[in-house]
Amino acid sequence: MKIAPIAAELRRYPDGFTPIVVHTGQHYDYEMSEIFFTELELPPPDHYLNATGVSMGAKVADIISKFDPLLLSESPDLVLVVGDASSTLACAVAAATRDIPVAHVEAGLRSGDRRMPEEINRLATDAIADLLFTPSADADENLAAESVPSHCIHRVGNVMIDTLLRFRSKAAASSVLETLNLTHGGYALVTLHRQSNVDDADRLRGLLDALDRIQQRIPIVFPVHPRTRGKLSEFGFDRLLEGMNQLTRVEPLGYADSIRLQEGARLVLVDSGGIQEETTVLGIPCLTLRENTERPVTVTEGTNKVVGCEPERIVSEAFRILDGEQREGRVPDLWDGQAASRIVEVLQRGVRRR
């Protein structure tokens, strides 16, 4: 969702740019990867690294070992990485050790929680990058506080919203509501996949208890991430979900179906960063099941509220929304579908190294 608009914009300038898309293979599940290339009209990747490794360290090491030879053969002028995945950090490190400039899209986001692998990835990647493309003012402030030179920081907006606005009409044509027998505004959508939530049996049990109470008031749709699916089975929690008559588990969704479900939901409960942003633009109430967020603008300006992981508070906040108590949000500045064009404008001016 972040690469597609940037690659498309770069291809508008064939005399100036030759984008080479590299798929590390970090997301190995089809629904988590290849389906998005098709739906987002992104051509197949030029290179596929088939990353392996169970732990974060092993995965980062494997990506670096496979990406480094590619840097030698392709000899790029710039490596552009997005987000906060292990792939982001690995490819940034590999490029920096070859003295190749690095651009980081979605730079400057901070949760303040270094127990999260994603936070370490953000901090380390931003420490390496020469061009830091930020989505919001708070990200600029975070980078300035970390002594990143001002000439490296470029606020461009949110590329996730470029994709959302481009494909919103396509998502509206999705038949997922009919397939799942849902009515617009008559269900809640849940996603859970963060390590801190699903790898801890007690915390995951508490979250499921909260969902049980909420589904007694409104049907819930739960697309189950592969990581979460494995933990539910490992902890013996499948039977808990089977007892929830109004909770429907589905396989991971493609992009159009995911946006259609968000836009039709009465509320969304997530631990995903991207969905916090999408629901803000769609105007859908969102409860973030974490103690913090690296996207505070979705709280201060948007429709998001961070409610933590205590079951009682989650249920209380969900019921407030179901009872009609919700705040009206606004779309943050520069979340207008033009972030990729602003990125390319900066790239056309060249890279000024740190």
Q: Rounded to whole angstroms, how far apart are CA atoms 67 and 272?
A: 27
* HEC string for 137-157: HHHHHHHHHCCCCHHHEEECC
HEC secondary structure over 31-89: HHCHHHHHHCCCCCCCEECCCCCCCHHHHHHHHHHHHHHHHHHHCCCCEEEECCCHHHH
* Nearest partner of 278 among 303, 253, 308, 301, judged by Cα: 303
In the residue annotation, 193 being an active-site residue is answered as yes
Dist CA 228 CA 84 (whole Å): 19
d(CA 73, CA 67) in angstroms, rounded, equals: 10
Q: How far apart, in Å, do the first and last CA atoms of the chain sit? A: 28
Q: How far apart are CA 136 and CA 126, in angstroms?
A: 15
Structural tokens at position 26: 């970090």
* Tokens matching residue 189: 């959508």
Q: Which residue in 23, 104, 154, 193 is the catalytic one?
A: 193
Dihedral of CA atoms 41, 43, 49, 52 in degrees, nearest 10, equals: 20
**Whole-angstrom distance, CA of residue 188 vs CA of residue 262:** 9
Residues forming the active site: 193
